[in-house]
Amino acid sequence: MKIILASKSPRRRVLLEQIGMKFEVAPAQGEEETRFVRPWEAVMDLAAQKAREAATGRDGLEETVLVIGADTVVALGDEILGKPKDEEDAYRMLSLLQGTSHKVYTGVSLLLLEGEFLKSHIFYRETEVVMHPMSEEERRWYIGTGEPFDKAGGYGIQGRCAVFIQEIRGDYNNVVGLPVAGIYQELKKLGIEMDDLCE
């Protein structure tokens, strides 16, 4: 089975490597847009768009192909936080998130192409994250590390921001950007086993 990760995120790649999966990377080229406003609907829609783009032209092959698409956002109440536009936007996001709890949503789209047959499955995971208070100085220090800019919500839980994370409730890897436990458990329902996924 050929596995394709439809994402350019290095953190998602590291997570699939961590569980020993053999895969190729084929990120979607387009800028996905969604009409959904609720975060769990938006991330599932965007994940599905990414997976579909990467799957195009790969049907009807002899080999079985599994495409994994994913999208992650941070939500604080009604506000969805994507990637910060600049330093001030990062400061604004960190100021909103520090000292309180927020939710991280990752949507995942699994497309399984077996010759002319297509199985697909889409789901999301929600994780609550509680952050320690961050002083103005700490927020500026963290922005100075350069970490916030390519990350939803302006922080990386797997980076230096770890010292400001008080606790989480849910799947940690979902916050990093890919709920590998959820993916494995859902793939089992599609009849796929560990030996199919790993070297």
Residues forming contacts to a copy of itself in the complex (CB under 8 A) are: 15, 18-20, 127, 132, 138, 141, 145, 157-160, 162-173, 180-181, 183-185, 194-195
Among residues 45, 59, 71, 195, the one annotated as catalytic is 71
Which amino acid is located at 149 in the chain? F
Which residue, 187, 195, 132, is CA-closest to 161? Answer: 132
- Taking residue 9's Cβ as centre, other Cβ atoms within 10 Å add up to 19
Taking the complex as a whole, how short is the minimal distance between the CB of residue 130 and a copy of itself, in angstroms?
10
Residue with tokens 């590390």: 145
Pull the structure tokens for residue 73. 């956002």
Taking the complex as a whole, how short is the minimal distance between the CB of residue 16 and a copy of itself, in angstroms?
10
- Taking residue 76's Cβ as centre, other Cβ atoms within 10 Å add up to 15
Taking the complex as a whole, how short is the minimal distance between the CB of residue 114 and a copy of itself, in angstroms?
22
Pull the structure tokens for residue 47. 């994940």
Residue with tokens 């579909």: 52
86 as an active site residue: the answer is no
Distance CA 52, CA 68 (A): 9
Pull the structure tokens for residue 43. 């991330």
Contact 28, 6 (CB under 8 A): yes
Taking the complex as a whole, how short is the minimal distance between the CB of residue 124 and a copy of itself, in angstroms?
14
Contact 132, 142 (CB under 8 A): no
Distance CA 161, CA 74 (A): 15
Q: Which is nearer to a copy of itself, 49 or 173 (CB)?
A: 173
Taking the complex as a whole, how short is the minimal distance between the CB of residue 123 and a copy of itself, in angstroms?
14
Q: Which is nearer to a copy of itself, 89 or 147 (CB)?
A: 147
List residues with catalytic annotation.
71
